[in-house]
Structure 1
Amino acid sequence: MKKAILIVFLAIFSFTLFASDYAAKLTRAGEVLSQDFWVSTEELQQALDATIANARSQGVELDPYFDNMYLPSKVALKLMLVSYIVDEKIVDIYALENSLLPDESEVESETDAMLSQYTSSPEIVTQIEAIYGSIDNFRKEIRNYVYQSLKAGVVQDNIAPLNDEALTAYFEQNKENLKNSYEYIRARHILLSDEATATSLKNKINAGEITFAEAALQFSIDSGTAANGGELGTIQRGQTVAEFEEAILTAPIGELYGPVKSQFGYHLIIVEERKSIESLNDIVSDPQNYNDFVSTYQNDTYSAWIEKYIADNAFDYEILDPELLLYDDYTKVMNDESSATAMVVELAAKLFGPSTTGNPLPIEYAIFIQLSDSLGLTENPNYKLAIEKLYEIGEKRGMIMELIFQLKGDDPAVATDYYNGWLIELENIFADPQLFQTQLSQYGESFVQYVFNTIDQIDASLGQLLAGEMKAETRKAALDVLLRNNSLALDLSYDPAWQKEKLAARLVYLKDYFVLEPSSDIQYEIDSITSQLETLETQDSTPTDTGEATSTD
């Protein structure tokens, strides 16, 4: 069993979990199991936070409510994580019932070693004590992590043992797939349009009148390989047309072979190396391939085992979280028009009917919006009302901001929230040096242009809004966005002209903000920027010595 383990230590103190503190309960043959094997709301949230943080570190931001073609929403991810955690609970049951538990002395030893690493400096100790209350509390968290990790290892060794017998059996059962994965051929070729030319060129190469590389450069119609002497690199089964594959699988190593006819023309071929996989030893001899093989073996064996173990014991789970229950229902009807329509009608009655009571969940509006969109009901007044309601009570980012901006983009409050979302994305990138470098190296100049264009768009759009009427709180919010955007802009370039332009804009925003909320801090910054601008003006007006002589004739 191969599992990616993310260490997330949080301050957790003893308390009693009630039914509302669980996201799902586990059953076995219809019988509800002990709460020790239920999925707590807390552990589900920790798993969700860790996964979102990992995605964010790679520049991926998940929408709170709306899936897209490539990414799940946060609520969809949360539902997926329930099944993963349930699998872990089932593994815990297996470990307990089969006494597959780690040695206590090893747990204590590894806990002490890890604690020593984390408490190596007084500064870190102070932070730990501030977060966890004491080093003892922190040690308990470490011990729990070590215990779970070692237990996973013990179970893994039982389910997918790393011995010759098990590995050989897996190899023999999956030999054809493994051959396709690990066998390879290195070859060169010359592609020609007709057989006569190919035969003539083959004779010249064999006679030593021209080398294979020279012939490839001069005569091959495969422009992608001609300049490299016909080098094709590493080829695996299934990557070439059948005629060519048969030829490179049978041609003698190092000898000129062909012509071989394919749909592309006639090939002259030299096979330089052919790696065949006939036994497990052929994989073991390559450390990288062997590690990959072991990982595949463990994954496949674990997947097959847990599927059978769940079926044999009739394990199941029941979702308790209201948001996840609703989203689970949505996933079951989303691709069936009649069922989707029925759910829209049901939600409409609940959310917009005359007897509407309680506090609807944001996900209810989100599902109503998504189903209405898929069913072509976007002209229904309730569709627009759902957008407004979700904007009002839900997270103000992602698709909902696009929808509300399309609907009410001229509303200063909506526009402020909309552009604030843009700015937060930029701030998150600049706050993470590794993410910033990743974006820069991956997208280059287009990323730079995106940054400058986004800053300019925020500045222009909200700046224009300030010229109109709006509530004082909305104006303050818009100015806050503009000032943060301006801070980002000032850090992008130290060109005097750029600095002068952005400082002048900042001065306007600060003076406007001071009218709404006077403070000594704002006045201090106003005075400071005024002084900086005066200095820049003086520098601009000071003549520079060009070194040119002035004639007195």
Structure 2
Amino acid sequence: MHETRWMRKIQVPIIWTIAILFAAGVIWWSVATYMSGKSRETGSTTPTNSARPEDAFAYLTKDGTPLEDPIYWISYSEYDDTVRDVLSSLSQRNIQLDPYFKGSAGMSEIDVRYMVLLDLIDQKILIYYAKKHNIYPTEDEINTRVEEIVSKYTSDENYKAQIEQYYGSVEAFKEKVRKSIFPSVLKEKVQNDVLKDVDQKLKTYFEENKDEIKNKYERVEASHILLTSEASALELKNELLNGAINFSDAASEFSIDRNSAVLGGSLGSFGHGQMVKEFEDAAFSATPGEIVGPVETKYGFHLIKVATKTVFDTFDELKSSSAYDQFKNDYESDEFKKWFENYKNNEKFGYVINDEELKIYNEFKKVQNAGNTDEYLKKLSTTIFNESGGISVEGSYLPIAIFVQLSDEKLNNLKYELNDLKEMKKLSETTPATILSLSNEEIEKKLSELNDSTDTKLKDLYSDAKKLKEYQSKYGEDINSVNELLETKQKEFDELNSRFATAVKFLYNMMPYSFEVLNYMYRVDSENPEVVLRYNEGVYTHNLKPLLDSPSTLQSYLDYYKQQLGDNARMFLIDYPLQKIERDLNTKIINATNAATDLKVSALYLLVDAYEKLASLPDQNNILVELYLRGEKRYLNELKKLLPNDNDVASKLEFVEKQIEELQQETTPPATE
């Protein structure tokens, strides 16, 4: 139904609402969508008189000169406490980060550490502004805000009980709020000071961007019933209008959109561009409470019932709508970001990092943002590798991780260039000179004339000539120069690929716990039985096992992917990934003569576990269950050969054989006399 698919919303405890409230005070713009955490009141600790900026984790500069007041420094304890809280909050939300590689989370631990640092630096700049303009938050202001928040969440007995369970007591919660509230109060006071006459500016902004604002903030909350034919939709609509059945029950019973059917047809709230055009037009035109349709889309015929609608054509209508607060908040946030970036540049603020690892990462991010990674990659290469081609590193593995990422990107680019050059060389040898002597326009004209021709050979010749000319404009027409370039690029690729493999193997030995490093290692040495086992164990643990361990989670994923893949959703989620794991383990470990017995045993146990979990999933027919049990039996038999005296294996094998026998008895029809 959606052009961009939706997933079912999950209820979360109130405690996360509170944690997210704290997060807004810690990381304003960078990682707000990733974390829930809390910060410390900046400047609450007074350093000793002997403290220097160089002793801090990082410090603020202005016009290249360090700011001497310690309130503009980031202490090691302030930084470490904030990072620890952010990472802990991420972990509690089951977001696991790799130390240096982004992985499935979309960010790494070093990314989080770096963004926390940058946001603490921004916080120091806001403190500078607040001090200069005499709007620094007072103790009374902090106390007032703390009381407001605590009262809000403890006035409800259910919320209060959750708070007491999570924090130990209301007083402990209050102390957490106190330590977390300073950044948000600081930002609020600065924002109020720099953004003047907002209401008048909002009206002007609305008039200048009306269509864009309507598309962004107009919303409809609706339910629908999706049917296969117009006749069935009209028949059901009459029953709904006559009161023979209510909309929710009808959706649950008749709608072929089973994802919304289980919710009584509810699609929740949606805006412009989230539904197919015919559906969107009907929903936004409907009167709340009335049933409209049938509306035909590529999915079928819809009956639509709008619960609420937020639409507007004038600023006054927007101002009186439920969308106004969000519109105003977004406008103020965007304007404040623009002001803040200008303020930092105009006042010539900078910062110095004293932590070695983040100093390295800061340099890398600046190079990356400037798009000049090739020179940086060469610099890393000369730093990391010694004369014999081995790794020389002291302290952090971060430079090696950065080298692996950058060299991987470079190798991919080189592959494309090499493929181009090789194809160009081949086309140069096979394209007739008579065709190649034509201009680009003449070749295009000839291709157009040959569009309906059955002479595929001639069409291919002109297509090849067109492609060759495109290559020549990119790499030059001199074939000798192209051959030299091909040789140079191939040499560059081979040398970089060799160093890439060396760096990956080093990280594999030093960081065996990193699944992302294991992914790289599998690419480098996919025939090594130990690597094959650990890689497939990682894939199974990260991707498949969580679905097999939780039928409700699996069903949620199936509901989502069914909208895109239909009946193939299960194969995409379960069957294909398991088949790949199974094929890899069988070929390279279980049936391989060079694999150690302990690796074979581990591989077999993994497959036994997978098939056992598959056989235990609910709502499966007996034929499928028996198929999975036979897979489990097969690998238990292999285990028994390797572990003949293992009673657990023998016992499990006996149990599985009994299950298969019982299933066969259930499906065998009784004999007739």
In the superposition, the TM-score normalised over structure 2's length comes to 0.54
- What does 1:152-171 align with in structure 2 at a 5 Å threshold? 152-160=187-195, 165-171=197-203
Aligned to 1:489: 614
Contact 2:39–2:183 (CA<8 Å) still a contact in 1?
A: no
Partner of 1:379: 494
Q: Say yes or no: does 1:362 pair with 2:362.
A: no
Fraction of identical pairs, as percent: 18
Q: Once the two structures are superposed, what CA deviation does each residue of 1:83-140 show, in whole Å capped at 9, x if it has no partner? A: 234223433454565133425144145336646868855x9857755xxxx8765553
Matched, 1:40 2:40: no
- Any conservation in 2 of the 1:108–1:143 contact (CA below 8 Å)? no
Change (3 A) 1:77 1:302: same
**1:389 CA drift (Å):** 1.0
Q: Which residue of 2 aligns with 1:449?
A: 571
Mapped contact 2:612–2:629 kept (Cα < 8 A): no
Residues 175 and 126 (structure 1), Cα distance of their counterparts in 2 relative to 1, 3 Å cut: closer
Question: Which is bigger in relative contact order (C-alpha 8 A, separation at least 6)?
Answer: 1
1:87 aligns with 2:122: yes
Q: 2:146 aligns with which of 93, 107, 118?
A: 107
**Partner residue, 1:534:** 658
RMSD, aligned CA: 5.0
SS at match of 1:460: helix
User: C-alpha offsets along residues 335-387 of structure 1, whole Å, 9 cap, x if unaligned?
Assistant: 3376235314423445966793634x333223223343416444223222112
In 2, Cα distance between equivalents of 1:50 and 1:475 = 39
Paired amino acid for 1:140: E
Indicate whether 1:176 and 2:208 are aligned: yes
Shift of 1:396: 5.1
Q: Does 1:314 align with 2:344?
A: no
Equivalence map 1:215-234=2 (5 Å) = none
Quick check: 1:98 aligned with 2:130? no
Instruction: Rate the CA distance shift 1:21–1:327 in 2: closer, same or farther, 3 A.
Output: same
Q: Tell me the CA shift for residue 474 of structure 1.
A: 4.1
Counterpart code for 1:427 = K
Would you say the 8 A contact 2:608–2:636 is kept in 1? no
- Residue 8 (1) aligns with residue 40 (2): no
Alignment partner of 1:458 out of 581, 585, 603: 581
Distance 1:350 1:52, change over 3 A: farther
SS in 1 for 2:494: coil
Paired AA for residue 524 in structure 2: L
* 1:318 counterpart SS class: strand
In the TM superposition, 1:287-436 aligns within 5 A as: 287-288=322-323, 290-333=324-367, 335-336=371-372, 339-340=375-376, 342-349=378-385, 356=392, 358-359=394-395, 361-373=396-408, 374=410, 376=414, 377-380=492-495, 381-394=498-511, 400-423=517-540, 424-429=542-547, 436=554
Q: What SS does the aligned partner of 2:518 have?
A: helix
Instruction: State how far apart, in whole Å, the 2-side matches of 1:393 and 1:77 are.
Output: 22
Q: Is the 8 A contact 2:39 2:82 kept in 1?
A: no
Distance of 2:591 and 2:576 partners within structure 1: 22
State the match for 1:439 in structure 2. Answer: 557
1:490 and 1:546 mapped to 2: Cα distance?
25
Residue by residue over 1:493-512, the C-alpha shift from the partner in whole angstroms, topping out at 9 and shown as x without a partner, is: 65341342244146347647
Structure 1: runs of 5+ lacking an equivalent:
187-226, 236-273
Distance 1:446 1:23 in 2: 53
Partner of 1:240: none
The C-alpha deviation readout for 1:434-481, integer Å capped at 9, x for no partner, is 865553333224442121221232233224413444446545654554
**Residue 590 of structure 2 aligns to which amino acid in structure 1?**
L
C-alpha separation in 2, matches of 1:36 and 1:513: 65
The one of 504, 507, 524 equivalent to 2:633 is: 504
Shift of 1:294: 0.2
Letter in structure 1 aligned against 2:126? V
How far apart are 1:488 and its partner, in Å?
3.5
Match runs of 1:464-475 below 5 Å: 464=587, 465-468=589-592, 469-471=594-596, 474-475=599-600
- Residues 36 and 86 in structure 2, CA contact (< 8 A), matched pair in contact too: no
Q: TM (normalized to structure 1)? A: 0.64
The SS at the match of 1:40 is helix
Letter in 2 for 1:379: D
Tell me what 2:302 maps to. none
CA–CA separation in structure 2 for the residues paired with 1:92 and 1:233? 48
Structure 2 residues not aligned, in runs of 5+: 1-23, 219-276, 286-310, 415-491
Distance in 2 (alpha carbons) for counterparts of 1:292 and 1:456 = 48
Cα drift, residue 410 of structure 1:
1.6
Q: Distance in 2 between matches of 1:15 and 1:512?
A: 67
Q: CA 1:41/1:497 → structure 2, altered by over 3 Å: closer, same or farther?
A: same
| Displacement after TM superposition at 1:303 (Å) | 1.1
